[in-house]
Amino acid sequence: MSLVIEHVAKRFERFPALKGVSLTAPKGCFLALLGPSGSGKTTLLRILGGLEFADAGRVAFDDLDWLALPARERRAGFVFQQYALFRHMTVAKNIAFGLSIRPRRTRPTRAEIARRVEELLALVQLEGLGKRYPSQLSGGQRQRVALARALAIEPRMLLLDEPFGALDARVRKDLRHWLRGLHERLGVTTVFVTHDQDEALELADLVAVLNQGRIEQIATPAELRAHPASDFVADFLGQAVPGGGVVPLRTARAPTLKGKIFKRSEENP
Amino acid sequence: MTPMLRPRAPTDDHPLTKLVLSLVAVGFIALFLLMPLVTVFWEALAQGMDSAIAALREPDALSAIQLSFTVAAIAVPCNALFGLAAAWCVTKFDFIGKNLLVTLIDIPFSVSPVVSGLVYMLIFGLQGWLGQDLRDHGIKIVFALPGIVLATIFVTFPFVARELIPLMSEQGRDEEEAAVSLGASGWSTLRRVTLPNIKWALLYGVLLCNARAMGEFGAVSVVSGHIRGLTDTMPLHVEVLYNDYQYAAAFAVAALLALLALVTLGIKSLLEWQFAGEIAATHSH
């Protein structure tokens, strides 16, 4: 009943994005795919979401042959780096989308959908903003709408592509803790991609460090810090954990000059 | 404290230079765009409104007007559909030969319309490749409505696609991918996500395509056969009248054509003005 990825490989024309990646993560786990740009982490996430097709390998999840399922039947809630909200729909319509396009037999009633939307708006702390359009929201709010939209379909798996990449440092830290709390409440298996070591180590139960299309190491944050498996991992983590520890929850909100606050988001187009 | 120095004008060119440049620009527009338009209406009304209207109610004129509208009514929806399909496929998918397809879409813009008309003659004409077979089965393509429609579709093909491709590539594929990951089928993604995002560009494309479809001369002239009252469209009828020295009537029909074009542009500007906010929102937020 866990997520098992076996020898997944993918080439883009002549560039090998993934060179046979394998990993196992327990159900309900919060898994981070960490690596520099070009390491293949986003490709792996998109393969899990059905937006990209693996050339080789298999993925099993929840006793399902995951890669054989078409994207629209996977019920994988995907949160895009730039959110990809439907710009011509209100926030409420955005969140309701996944429910309202279901075939009539399985579609909830209008009232039921409205109730779900209200619930989700409350969950992401955006009560009362249902009638706004995405362009009228801040980055952090859009992010949470995207999350609510993904959660509306009761996803089997939640996939987050650089969930905090496009946000400024303050909002980022706030959202990070909030997301961790949310994951603990919902217990949905979550995979998220990041190039930020702090983020991965602080949020995830398991961190897979990717480099040039291969997994260098997959371990819990504590293990990763104590026993980096290769020079690359040690080097990559070394940049980010000056004190070797996680920033405590309480102090994270306080403005601090510790660590790198302004990080260039390399993968933003 | 030094006072803030503010230049009085964005450039420090001599006022005379600016005046001359402005006059050249305005003069150019007046001479090449405005004057022909005014002349058309002037000449059309030279012998009074009544004679202009009488020229339009003449049976051959009426048939030309009807034919032009019929051709546009068939060609424009076809091209709206083709253009949408082409733009969708070029901007939302990757495949080999994509650049070639984009180039092909532009062919009607770069090839002389007469050439495209001749191509249809070569294929469907009596001496053409399929000419004999078509005649044996009693199918008329050239010198009839189908040929005129085909030629018009060819010439106006790029309008909708050209309008949609830049917008759709700017919008990217994220929203479509999001829709699919939320369980939407291809059809409901198109209907509920893609179409609402491009409806304004699609409408512009359709309006421009329509203006050109009714105004096309070259390609239609080759395949129409100029049968008066039967296969003459409005532009062809203008030429016929002009060559018959019926200047007032020629200009009356020409004025009607120009009026249709002006109405098209008017609708376009009106929509742009009315829905400015909504149109801006469909570009990247």
Closest-approach residue (CA) in chain A for B189: A101
Q: Is B120 in contact with B150 (CB distance < 8 Å)? A: yes
Distance from CA of A24 to the nearest CA of B (A): 23
Please give the pLDDT value at position A91. Answer: 96
Which residue of A15, A66, A86, A107 to mutate against B (max B Cβ within 10 Å)? A86
User: Helix (H, G, I), strand (E, B), or coil: what is residue B8?
Assistant: coil
CA pair distance A188, B227, nearest whole angstrom: 73
**Which of B182, B183, B282 shows the shortest C-beta gap to A87?**
B282
CA pair distance B120, A256, nearest whole angstrom: 74
Q: Exposed, middle or buried by CB within 10 Å (0-12, 13-18, 19+), for B241?
A: buried
CA pair distance A53, A8, nearest whole angstrom: 10
Closest-approach residue (CA) in chain A for B176: A84
The model carries a pTM of 0.79
**Which of A84, A87, A153 shows the shortest C-beta gap to B183?**
A153
- Banded model confidence at residue B95, pLDDT cuts 50, 70, 90: confident
The alpha-carbon radius of gyration of chain B (Å, integer) is: 24
What ipTM does this complex have?
Answer: 0.83
Which residue of B93, B181, B278 to mutate against A (max A Cβ within 10 Å)? B181
Section B130-158 average pLDDT: 88
User: Helix (H, G, I), strand (E, B), or coil: what is residue B97?
Assistant: coil
Give Cβ neighbours of residue A1 (< 8 Å, ≥ 6 apart): A27, A62, A63
What element of type H or E holds A17? strand A15-25
**Which of B174, B177, B188 shows the shortest C-beta gap to A101?**
B188
Please give the pLDDT value at position B265. Answer: 87
Please give the pLDDT value at position B243. Answer: 93
Other C-beta atoms closer than 10 Å to the C-beta of B114 total: 13
Which residue of A46, A51, A147, A161 to mutate against B (max B Cβ within 10 Å)? A51
Q: Exposed, middle or buried by CB within 10 Å (0-12, 13-18, 19+), for B43?
A: middle
Q: Is A113 in contact with A100 (CB distance < 8 Å)? A: yes
pLDDT values of chain A reduced to their tens digit, one per residue, 269 residues: 589 999 999 998 888 899 999 999 999 999 999 999 889 999 999 999 999 999 999 999 988 999 999 998 999 999 999 899 999 999 999 999 999 999 999 899 999 999 999 999 999 999 999 999 999 999 889 999 999 999 999 999 999 999 887 778 888 888 888 889 889 998 999 999 999 898 899 899 999 999 999 999 999 999 998 999 998 998 888 765 444 444 444 333 334 444 444 444 444 43
Q: Considering only CA atoms, which of A48, A67, A44, A100 is closest in space to residue B182?
A: A100
Alpha helices, DSSP H, located in B58-144: 59-92, 98-105, 107-110, 113-124, 131-136
Give Cβ neighbours of residue A251 (< 8 Å, ≥ 6 apart): none
Please give the pLDDT value at position B162. Answer: 92
Between A and B, how many residue pairs show a Cβ–Cβ distance under 8 A? 72
Closest-approach residue (CA) in chain A for B279: A88
CB pair distance less than 8 Å for A75 and B183? yes
Q: Exposed, middle or buried by CB within 10 Å (0-12, 13-18, 19+), for B199?
A: middle
